Amino acid sequence: MVAVELAHAYRLLNHGPTTLVSTAHGGRRNVMAASWSMPLDFSPPRVVVVIDSRTLTRELVEASGEFALNIPPRSLAAQTVAAGSDSGRHRDKFDHLGLAVAPASQVSAPLIVGCVGWLECRVIQEVHNEQRYDLFIAEVVAAWADPTVFSNGRWHFGDDAKRTIHYVAGGAFFETGKPFEVDAGR
């Protein structure tokens, strides 16, 4: 994985891929799926993500003030669905799902090996949003990408197995599809 400059971090998420939220605190760790995450600002880069109040992830985010957004490729789609339906309270989901991790540079949350993008995030505490809407705002403090599919601030997918994915419901996804450009000066 190669560092992504913070000014380009939003481009990892701008096309709306499904993410995996990873967290750790006090010897516990967890991962859950989140389709409901998006950029909130360019610079400093900020994101929003919805984290249900009943989840272990929520406990660990609140305790640590940190999380990572991992962007899974199609090859991890089954694990993404499983991470979204299973709970981490009774077993370690990383081990159960065969997800290897690497340490982050700035946060306690582990980064998921095989994902094509990583955003290390520090929560900007907004208690009202968290309690009323399960909505978390965070600053992206470091970002990384797989250089075979993202470089110079652009995604360039080839192999289907490394395409990012977009969840619909009930185990159904879309791959990120064909790129195209329109004249922005139109």
Nearest to 62 by CA among 123, 141, 104: 123
| Side chain identity at residue 31, one-letter code | V
Residue 26 or 179 having the CB closest to a second copy: 179
Candidates 7-15, 53-61, 64-72, 113-121: pick the segment binding a second copy (CB under 8 A).
Answer: 7-15
Q: What one-character DSSP code corresponds to residue 55?
A: S
Decide: 26 and 65 in contact? Cβ < 8 Å. no
Binding status of residue 3 toward a second copy by CB under 8 A: no
Binding status of residue 37 toward a second copy by CB under 8 A: yes
**What is the closest distance, in whole angstroms, from the C-beta atom of residue 27 to a second copy in the complex?**
27
Nearest to 156 by CA among 183, 182, 181: 181
Name residues whose C-beta falls within 8 Å of residue 181's C-beta, 6 or more positions apart in sequence.
none
- Determine the size of the site formed for a second copy (CB under 8 A): 54
Per-residue binder mask for a second copy (CB under 8 A), 70-109, x = binder: ----x--xx--xx--x------------------------
Q: What string of DSSP letters covers 87-119?
A: -SSSS-HHHHHT--EE--SSSSS-EETT-SEEE
Binding status of residue 158 toward a second copy by CB under 8 A: no
Per-residue binder mask for a second copy (CB under 8 A), 38-77, x = binder: xxxx----x-x-x-----------------------x--x
Residue 3 or 78 having the CB closest to a second copy: 78
Nearest to 148 by CA among 185, 101, 115: 115
Q: Number of C-alpha atoms within 13 angstroms, CB side, residue 61?
A: 31
| Side chain identity at residue 179, one-letter code | P
Binding site for a second copy (CB under 8 A): 11, 14-18, 35-41, 46, 48, 50, 74, 77-78, 81-82, 85, 126, 128-129, 133-135, 137, 153-155, 160, 163, 166-184, 186
